[in-house]
Amino acid sequence: MHRTRKSGILLHPTSLPGKEGIGTLGTEARQFVDFLHLAGQSVWQVLPLGPTAYGNSPYSCYSAFAGNPLLIDLAALVCDGDLASRDVKGSFPADWVDFPQVETHKLPLLERAAGAFFAAADQQRMEEFWHFCDANNWWLQDFALFMALKSRFKGKNWSAWPRDISRRESAALQQYGEELGPQIGAHKYVQWQFYRQWHDLKSYAGAKGVELFGDIPIFVAHDSADVWANPGLFHLDGAGQPTVVAGVPPDYFSKTGQLWGNPLYRWEEMAAGGYDWWTARLRSSFALYDLVRIDHFRGFEAYWEVPAKEKTAVNGRWVKGPGEALFTALETALGKLPIVAEDLGVITPEVEVLRDRFGFAGMKILQFAFGSGPDNAYLPHNHVRNCVVYTGTHDNDTTLGWFDSLKDKDRQKVLRYLDCAASGMPWGLVRAAMASVAALAVIPLQDFLELPASARMNVPGTPRGNWSWRFTGDVLSEPLAKKVHELTEIFGRLNR
């Protein structure tokens, strides 16, 4: 973790304002960077950027390496000459994402832009495109073919495709590769545009002293290019179905645990290959971000394995993960790893040892701090320097929503600790985060905007209605930037 005290804002790009029905990597993203700079912030934390599958969750994607096409700024494609300005106009809700409407509008336009590019691009742009394809062919070809096949077979899971292509027989790969050539090319074009827009944004942020803080899930979706292209790295049966899946055991919050359903890694095969897949994944992530959070870090030490046919997570077992061997291999290949370990929930001493062995920062959530006495590890007076403190994350309610949901005696306990009045929330909790000894403090934008529970990003365990919150362009005011800047300066976290 950085030696210098810093702070930042958590905001997924989909939540940015704009005319395309969803936040993009265009003008509004740069305006948000400008706000961060004006407010003295050094970090912009985002959620995973991959192409989302069912439920629109950034934690369930078709690829661990590809970018989400919906984040591409269409206005930039107009400037490139690949679209006409009249093509990109649409009418969308301003304060939430209607994902089906956005997909219906945007995906055909991206395909049209690809067609225009291949028909009329100049030599310089075409050379840039082919350079991108050559540099990323190790994942891009499989992903582009996977997505083209998804369309050919009407969205079916890859394990339900015809046997020859679901098993990746050489003749089938060649046949479909030729038949679907234009569609494959279009998907490669879209990924090229995503990556060039992201790297342009990253350069812009870097010039303003703003680091990009990314997020990767430990597991991948079964219906993904990753599993289809690398079946030997996962516990699958002869039909391509998982034999065991990921989850967490029953606890105080759930009598049946949580059954996530992700296929589990065959870690012995990963080790035999020198952990090459994970090395490639982290190398790709560090090219996108300055700092990376790994979700469910405890799964590297031990993970909850559930037989795939089970309906709940009750009948699972703990299985040892790769532990130190994985991160030793990663450090050997990549050098010191700028990683934040998501170490929330019930964490064993073995997980803490693994985290600390490699110097990874942990996480402290202030909304979790008030359920017990003064020894609660999430209370600011118990924090350590090598951690990231949050008021809440994307999985929590907004601080105002959380505070309003508490019983009166619990609200009084919070206010006594923070030494503030109820009218001072959520700023009382924000101030406590900024004052913490933690090297990095990250505040969700919703808390700076004093928003209620209706602005919550995600409610874990609920399949619908998540990930759609957006803010409107007029809320990032100069007075707000000044207020955030002053608080940041008081506690020695200014962007320097």
Active-site residue 342, yes or no? Answer: yes
Burial class (CB in 10 A: 0-12, 13-18, 19+), 243: middle
Q: Where are the beta strands (DSSP E) in 11-136?
A: 43-45
- Which of the following is catalytic: 34, 352, 395, 450? 395
Active-site residue 28, yes or no? Answer: no
140-174 residues labelled b (16+ CB within 10 A) or e (exposed): bbbbbbbbbbbebeeeebbbebeeebbeeeeebee
> What is the edge-to-edge ordering of all strands in the sheet holding 258-263?
258-263, 244-248, 302-307, 317-320
Two tokens at 420?
């503030």
- Rounded to whole angstroms, how far apart are CA atoms 25 and 177? 31
Instruction: Give me the DSSP letters along 254-315.
Output: -TT-EEEEEEPB-HHHHHHTTTHHHHHHHHHHHHH-SEEEETTGGGGTEEEEEETT-SSSTT
- Asked if residues 53 and 60 have their Cβ atoms less than 8 Å apart, the reply is yes
- Asked if residues 391 and 433 have their Cβ atoms less than 8 Å apart, the reply is yes
- Which of the following is catalytic: 34, 80, 295, 305? 295
By C-alpha distance, which of 326, 381, 389 is closest to 357? 326
Two tokens at 324?
């130190």
Active-site residue 211, yes or no? Answer: no
Would you call 390 helix, strand, or coil by DSSP? Answer: strand
- Which of the following is catalytic: 342, 343, 397, 447? 342
Q: Active-site residue numbers?
A: 295, 342, 395
